[in-house]
Structures are given as C-alpha cells and as structure tokens.
Amino acid sequence: MEKIIFDTDIGVDDAFALAYAAKSCDILGITCVFGNVAVEQAVRNARLFSHKIGLDVPVYRGSSRPLAHLPTPSAWDVHGADGLGGVFDNPWSGAAENAIDFIIQSVRDNPDALTIVAIGPLTNIAVAINQAPDIIPQIKRLVVMGGAFGSHGHSGNVTPFAEFNIWKDPHAADQVLSSAIPVVMLPLDVTLEVTVSGDDIRSLNHPVLSTISQGYLAYSKQHGVEGMALHDTLTIAYLNHPEWFGVTTSPVRVVTDRINRGQTLRQLNSPATRDDPFAGCRPQSLCLTVEAEHVKAHFMAALRQ
C-alpha cells in the first residue's frame, strides 16, 4: 500500500477521497489547510469524518491563510456551512499539533518512500519546503488535485482561467509546482470527466457519504450539472491505477495576480525566447485524459458497503 500524507481543506469531495484512501492507502496522517473551510474547521471535519468511517489517524493543523493574497471566503455555497454538507453536529476540537512540522519530520523519517496527496491549496507544502528545503529531494512524489489546462474545454471553475485550489493560493502553487519535487497533477481536465449521480451514491449503501453529499448535488443541479464531480478522489484513483490516465510532461508555472490569477501554464513548445519563465523548472506529470468509466467503477467498488 502506498504510504501517504493526506493534505486537505476537507469539504465533501475531500471526504470522498479520504474514504477511498482509507480503503487503499497507508495514511500516516491528515494535515489540514484553509480552503473550502477555515483551517480549524478542516481539523474538526477531518476528525469527525474519520471517526464516522472508523479511520484512526492523527490530524494536524496547518496554514490558515495564503502566502501573499488576502484570505478569500470559504466555499460554503458548494460544501455547506461546515464544509461537510452542514448535516452533522460536530463535537470535535479544531486545536491540533503543527502540520508543517509533521510533514517535514515524516519526509525525513521516510526518505524517497512517502507520497504527499494534496487536495486543497498548496500552502502547507510551500511552507514546509521553504522551512526545510532538505526534504525536497526526499519526497517520493506529490499528487495534487488542482489546476486546469483547457482539455475538453475545462479551463477553470472559480474564474474562466483558474481552478479553486490553485486560485486560493497561487503563490504557494507556483513555488511548489516549479520546485524539484516530482509532481503528478490531476487538473479539472480529468476531474470534471468523472462524476457520480445521486443514484450512484445511494447505491453505495454508505449513509455518511450519502448524507454529506445532498447539498453538493443540489448545488450542482442548480447550476445545470447532473451529479457531482469526484475531483479529489482522482488523486487516490491515480495512486491505485496510474495506467487509466493519459499523462503529458511539462514544466508548470502559475499566474499569481490580475484577471487570470491562478491560471496554470504549461510549456507548449521550446522557442528560443530571451526570457524563459520555465527555465530551471522540472517537467511535471500532468494528467490530461482519463478512462472515466474505469475510475468510477473502481471507486464505486471500493466504497460500496
């Protein structure tokens, strides 16, 4: 089983991903970050959801705001007032030990053996590699849900140019994606291609997933979309079955400001320009196509109770 740290701003699709990871990965710890919800709420959600699915792993508290931009509102419209559909009482505390220290120590303890799965803004990862650059060559790989490169017309979900996780903290994303860490990106190009309907979710006989996803499904319907994109779960699907993804390699940079804040840019050719924004950036693995039916079937089989 893949040994992972699960870095999340836990909302509804993050919770689906955690349930899937609990079945198929060795989770060392859950590190929380602001994003869909405030970081304290993410800690509370991670604890509540883990408890509900019988997962016993430590939960850590990370960054509460972006590196440079002012904080932007939580995604309560999509994920509900508390990020988990607003359906459960949550008795858990938002206080926890430091996520950055945990990431740094875990990588040092598991050189070349630890995968970080990051499904929220990349702030915790940026802070960790800035604080301890020695861990960069020791991270086996970082698997990210984030970004958009325009395949199948998928170029953004917050703005026409930007995907939510990258838009939330574009400076962190630019630092991480242009670093020497081997990154696998699951952008909107693939995550919007794999959806589940209300009937699909009901057929899992998983009361917790059914309950938390009602609001998300209603939000999608209001916006003319039937069903729910599995977004964050595709990171776990990639770890289980990388052969179901079509991967392109290219260096990646992120636009940090102005109207296309959060846009992910890849190198399309290598013209001899005077100034190369990709100079020194490692080619990253970008998943641009997916065998959606295989991914969905594997996810459904893993979660069915």
Residues 6+ apart with CB under 8 A from 63: 33, 34, 39, 99, 100, 121, 123, 124, 127
* CB atoms near residue 210 (< 10 Å): 16
119 binds Ca ion (CB under 5 A): yes
List the interface residues with ligand BDR, window 234-253 (CB under 6 A).
Answer: none
Q: Which is nearer to Ca ion, 55 or 136 (CB)?
A: 55
Instruction: Tell me the closest approach of the beta carbon of residue 146 to ligand BDR, in angstroms.
Output: 7
Task: Single out the residue of 43, 75, 177, 255 in contact with ligand BDR (rule: CB under 6 A).
Answer: 75
Q: Enter the DSSP assignment of 71.
A: P
Q: How far is CA 151 from the centre of its chain?
A: 19
Residue whose pair of structure tokens reads 């938002």 in the numeric block: 94
Question: Quick one: 71 or 111, whose CB is closer to ligand BDR?
Answer: 71
Measured between alpha carbons, how far is 98 from 82 in angstroms, rounded to an integer? 22
Cross-strand bridge partners of residue 6: 30, 117
- From the candidates 231, 241, 294, 298, give the one annotated as an active-site residue: 231
Give the residue, chosen from 7, 14, 163, 291, that forms a contact with Ca ion under the rule CB under 5 A: 14
Q: Site map for ligand BDR, 138-157, x if CB under 6 A?
A: -------x-----------x
Considering only 119, 184, 194, 254, the residue that binds ligand BDR (CB under 6 A) is 119
CB 217 within 8 A of CB 246: no
CB of 54 to Ca ion, least distance (A): 22
Please report how close the Cβ of residue 79 comes to ligand BDR at its closest, in angstroms: 6
Torsion sign over Cα 221, 225, 226, 231: negative
* Pairing, β 252-254 against β 264-266: antiparallel
> Which one of Ca ion, ligand BDR, none is in contact with 233 (Cβ closer than 5 to 8 A by kind)?
none
Q: Are 162 and 156 in contact (CB under 8 A)?
A: yes
Taking the complex as a whole, how short is the minimal distance between the CB of residue 120 and Ca ion, in angstroms?
5
231 is catalytic: yes
Report what 291 binds from Ca ion, ligand BDR, none; CB cut-off 5-8 Å by kind.
none
User: Which residues, 192 to 251, sit near Ca ion by CB under 5 A?
Assistant: 232
Catalytic residue numbers? 231
Task: Please give the residue ranges that form the binding site for Ca ion (CB under 5 A).
Answer: 14, 119-120, 232
